[in-house]
Amino acid sequence: MSLFAVAVLTGMVTGTIHFSQECPTCVVDVRGELRGLSKGLHGFHVHESGDMTSGCTSMGSHYNPFRMTHGGPTDTVRHVGDLGNIVAGADGIAKVDITDKLISLSGKYSILGRGLIVHADPDDLGRGGFPDSLATGHAGARVGCGIILETAGDTSQDKRLVQILKSEIQEIRDKEKSEQETWDGLDWATVLG
Ligand SMILES: [Cu+2]
Ligand SMILES: [Zn+2]
């Protein structure tokens, strides 16, 4: 059974990010679009808390249940929440398309209810040599954030399903119409003898 979640980001940076996972131990696809960014790389993480009482600030540190140091998404040593960087064009838009094997939408280490944050600066993936490189990737201010919430499904898939149903209903109606026309066209005097 597939699992789905969504995060609607607010702040200087806005947009919607969809999460989908085909099974509890499967990879998670992270897809969507964010706008309002400066051109270039921006740190992108799951933070431990979905608490937005003080905006993005109250969402805590990177989600790190295994007490590791900060890293990049393909590193063995990383926070669970370390999704690396997203890239914005000159128009300030970043198209997000990440597949991650560590985050999950179910179980003890689920990211549901936690915070999704995009930062002002690039995440150095722990390699920058700054005092905060091994904690936050030196990614700077939190410019947009949202809570990761479970949903029934990806709305883009729902729209596709509606289209399929509509065309099936139309086919049935067309068939009924042509059958009715056949009946109407019969010469009843001949049929009934
Ligand atoms: Cu972050
Ligand atoms: Zn981290």
Q: 76 CA to middle of ligand 2, Å?
A: 12
Q: Tokens 């509890």 belong to which residue?
A: 24
Q: 91 CA to middle of ligand 2, Å?
A: 27
| DSSP bridge partners of 40 | 88
Q: What is the pLDDT of residues 8-64, one digit of tens each?
A: 999 999 999 999 999 999 999 999 999 999 999 999 999 999 999 999 999 999 999
- Interatomic CA distance for residues 95 and 35, integer angstroms: 9
Ligand with the closest atom to the CA of 139: 1
Q: 35 CA to middle of ligand 2, Å?
A: 23
Looking at the chain, the whole-number percentage of residues with pLDDT higher than 70 is 96
- Interatomic CA distance for residues 170 and 151, integer angstroms: 29
pLDDT band of 153, cuts 50, 70, 90: confident
Decide if pLDDT at 154 tops 60: no
pLDDT band of 3, cuts 50, 70, 90: very high
Which residues hold their Cβ within 5 A of ligand 1, which is an ion? 45, 117
Q: 180 CA to middle of ligand 1, Å?
A: 63
Structure tokens belonging to residue 5? 């979640």
For 73, the 3-state DSSP assignment is: coil
Backbone angles phi, psi at 67, to 5 degrees: 50, 55
The contacts of residue 146 (CB under 8 Å, 6+ apart) are: 7, 8, 9, 10, 17, 115, 116
Exposed/middle/buried for residue 11 (C-beta within 10 Å: 0-12, 13-18, 19+)? middle
Q: Which residues are catalytic?
A: 45, 47, 62, 70, 79, 82, 119, 142
What is the model's pLDDT at position 157?
59
Ligand with the closest atom to the CA of 66: 2
- Interatomic CA distance for residues 152 and 160, integer angstroms: 15
Q: For the whole model, what pTM was predicted?
A: 0.80
Q: Say if CB 111 and CB 103 are below 8 A apart.
A: yes
Q: 71 CA to middle of ligand 2, Å?
A: 6
Q: CB neighbours (10 Å) of residue 5? A: 24
